[in-house]
Structure 1
Amino acid sequence: MRTSGVWRSVATATALAALTVVSGCTIQPAGPPGTSPAASPPAGGSSSAGSSPPAGRTPDAKPPASAGQPAPEVLWSPGDRGGDVRELQARLRQVLWLYEGPTGTYDASTVYAVKGFQGKRGLPRTGTTDSVTWQRLLGMTREPGKWDLYASGGQPAAKPDPRCMTGRVLCISKTSRTLRWMIDGRTVSVMAVRFGAQYTPTREGVFNVYFKSRHHVSTLYDSPMPYAMFFSGGQAVHYSADFAGTGYYGGSHGCVNVRDEGKIAAMFAQVRDGDKVVIYW
């Protein structure tokens, strides 16, 4: 009897062991293509079904929605130049992420603005403009006008007026808003300019510089007019800090405002009393 009891105990233990093995063989849930079933926990780790997941993780975590998706196409990146970059910058100005330019060059300020725009909308802060970033920006802005694109200058200079082709001339185009400093038909330098407002327009025609004043201050408006070169009454070509700061979103009281102080300083040193001024469309 004792022997048979031992055999019954052995048989029972064997059956229980078999059941235990079978109950532990569960079917692993199917993962993404190419994945393998989860590995066994490392030695010393808990395999209890009721244990909590590690901190920072959730049970049955799924891969990000972007997993397996191609990265969006990069359209423009630092160092790029051209009209497309100028439009990008103009649109970033509309949503107040960029305050200078447009310049047409993807510079450090543009990278900073793009990163800010991306981060605000939950996009990766790469600083490069990809197709997703561009579409989001397009949906929030309007198409820039000509002077939005050239708010701080950069518009190609218009063809010189025939009256500019001889002598020493400040050749000023209202169409392209540019000034060519020319000597005997040769362009010495080109600079962005703006003109008088609606009720104080800049006169058109042929004039001559009759007075120069390096540190001039307007007697009518008590405003600085550095590098002033007067050509018609109180109208002059001069540097404008306001133009440099706000671009074409302002205007003068009839003077020709120059944005680039370095360029007008160089021109001021060369211009003489009597030099011609031609203002045309």
Structure 2
Amino acid sequence: MRHRSVIHRAVLAAAAVALAVGCTPEAGAGGTADPSPVPPSSSAPSSAAPSETPTSDDKPSQAPSSEAPSPSATPTTERPQPQSKVLMKDGDESAQVRELQARLRQIGYFDRAPTGFYGSITGTAVKAFQKKRELPQTGSVDEITWQKLLGMTRKPTKDELRPSTSNKLDKPDPRCMKGRVLCISKETRTLAWMIDGKVLSSMDVRFGSENTPTREGTFSVGWKARKWTSTIYHTPMPYAMFFSGGQAVHYSADFAARGYAGASHGCVNVRDKGKIAALFDQVKVGDKVVVHW
């Protein structure tokens, strides 16, 4: 009896173990069915596997444009260009500038007597020459411009460098456009007697040397002397019209004889005696004097 009971208990225990390991709850039996995993298929690649066909985001970008050269290309436009040495420029005053002006005048680019001073008129003439020859239009004379000009012109004569004819007037300074004015240009070496912007007479002039320069600016005639001798240099100063201390506009026999080979001690020399005599009679004490480049 007891043996039979033991056997019965053993059979019940084996059945309980089999039920716990091999069975799952059915759907609809108060639980949720546990879906079976789907095995990988050769026709459905795994999402983790890399795709063989690149998407639009993976496709290479368009080829670089011509505006963005490849690193291997040599950017020729960025190579530094050799600089040509500047020989003459605005503000210079020398014998070479006088020769430049004479040579430009030979081929029609400078329409006045050479002065030796490099100002705006000379710069404009140089730019026009450079433009015609397809050179950089700097307005300054570098070695390339100078050699080009030398090849097209001949060495100026003495008369071409220092002609006896009157210099052409410069465009009047704005300060000369109102009232009675002695408008004096250092660049063109001219004096224009003007009243309310109208030129009544003009004449060649020269100025002081580097050591005794003629002052620039706006002045007025302080006093006049038909006959005067310098108390410092003891030289005659006929038809003197003083405008700045001892500096005056006056006739110069030396200027008439030697031209621009000489210089004054700071005064404005006139070489045409007839013109300065007529001017002296017209100018009044208090009239404006403008000396400019």
TM-score (norm 1): 0.49
Larger radius of gyration: 2
TM-score, structure 2 as length reference: 0.47
